[in-house]
Every structure is written in C-alpha cells, then in structure tokens.
Amino acid sequence: MAEGRIIKAISGFYYVKSDGEVHQCRGRGVFRKKNITPLVGDFVVFDKNNPDEGYVMEVKPRKNELIRPPVANIDQAIIVSSATMPDFNPLLLDRFLVLIESKGIKPIIFVTKKDIISESQRQFIDDYVREYQQIGYEVELLSSKENLNELSKLESYFSNNVSVIAGQSGVGKSSFLNAINPLLQLKTDDISKSLGRGKHTTRHVELVEVGDGLVADTPGFSTLDFNEIEANELDECFPEINELKPYCKFRGCMHNKEPKCAVKQAVEKDEISNKRYEHYISFLNEINSRKPRY
C-alpha cells in the first residue's frame, strides 16, 4: 500500500501523485455502497501492485470540501471576476464569497481585464474594490495580458498553498494561469458575445502546479445555490455582519425585521454597504423559500 494525493479525476479514474510519480487508479467497489466519492485533493491510500492500474483503498479524513467545484482539502479560494465581458457582477461575486465563507476557506478576489474598461467603468470597479478591502478581503486588479511584475506578485498567492479557482465562465481563469505557468497550456476560448458569457473550455477538475503551489483548474459556473447553508448560518458568511451581530438586541437576530438590530443600524449609517446588505436579504429569502429536505 502507498499514500498520495488525487490530482485529477476523469471518467471514474483517479490519478494519484505519490513520491513524484502519478498512478492511474480506480475506486473500490465498496465506495459506491458506502456513498464515498473520492475528490480531487483527497489524500488516499492506494494499492499500486499493478503498474498499469491501481486501486484507491481508503480516503483520508478531509479538512474541507466543495461541491462546485468538487475539490477537497483546500487552503484558499481565488474567486475570479471580470471588469467587463462579462460585466462585473457583485451579486454573483457575493454568492461565491458566501459559499467559500461557509466552508471556512480563505477567499481572495481577482478582478481581471482592468485594461479594457472605460474611465467610468474603472471608477465603478475601484469603488467595489475599496468596499471589499474595507471588509477585509484581499483584492487584486489584473490586466488581460499581465506584465512580469504583476505575474510575480500573483505567484506569491499560490506558494505553498492548495488553491481553488472559481468564477463565472469567460472571466479569464485559464488565461492568467497559463501566463504564470506557460507549460500548462490550459485551453481557453473567446467570449461568446451573443450570450455575454464564456464558452465552457475546462472539462474536468485537476490540480496543476502554479507558483510553487497547487491550483484546481475547474469549469466556470454561472449559478450557485445555498443548499448546504441554513438561514441562521448566513450572517456568519458576511464578515461585516457577523462582527456586529453580538450587539443586536435579540439573540438569533436575522437582521431582517427585528427591532434594535445593530446590523440594520450600521446600514443606515453607511457603515455597512447597502448593496451587500441587500444581497444578504436576497440570499436569506432564497434560503427560507427553498423546499424542506427530508
């Protein structure tokens, strides 16, 4: 038996890296009976007696996992949004942030294509960048074609980390990974202008080496759901709201219709972004209106 990490999963095959070598493996049949699905990023025990095809025998406990994208044992999530083509979408960005925060994973925000927007668009983006930085998020504005100085700065984010890259299709995830490590040659495609979004060019999940770290290159997503988040957990996914909730009059305050709510008071004083609060209420209503699970 040997131990390693799954770095790629395609069509029922798991590619396990161990001691610098990659082994093609299948999962044990008992996994299906026990409802165990190995994920990219999992640490596993595998049988490598057969040099052509091994078997994953055990999946080690995970520190975290995501469903979209399906990756485990992540140190940080880099959420990529574009300034244009497709247009910057704060609501979608906040959906990603909520999902990442709910897993206890550190989010980092990259906004791409800053070099191809107008001055008014740049002001709009800069306002949002300052807003997210004030909350405490790390934010980087990137060009569509990075220079060497910018690439060196980005590499520091990846060093000694396992990162997941998430974001809407067409925002430039594969493009900037290729720029940092040209050997990757990840497939990219042009924006479908008629749809206003990118064509899906990434077909599987794989951990690739970028800047002395590992990065999950994943398909882009245009929607996210909150099926794993309960209504009373949502405020924990908004750092600025979570910070103020101890000062609300009522324990368990949902920051919606309750009186003497510290969060609503902060919104009225412009201490919390009204847009972020509107997104919180929208997400809260969405969670409350979903069908109960049995």
List binding-site positions for Zn(2+): 248, 253, 255, 261
Q: Please calculate the CA angle 269-275-281 and round it to the nearest 5 degrees.
A: 95
Helix (H, G, I), strand (E, B) or coil at 2: strand
Annotated binding-site residues for GTP read 112-115, 167-175
Nearest to 241 by CA among 280, 269, 285: 280
CB burial string 274-294: b at 16+ within 10 A, e below: eebbebbeebbeebeeeeeee
Using left for φ > 0, alpha for ψ between -120 and 50, and beta otherwise, residue 184 falls in alpha
Q: Which residues pair with 87 in a beta bridge?
A: none
Radius of gyration of the chain (CA): 21
Q: 101 near 94, Cβ under 8 Å? A: no
Annotated binding-site residues read 112-115, 167-175, 248, 253, 255, 261
Helix (H) or strand (E) holding 175: helix 173-180
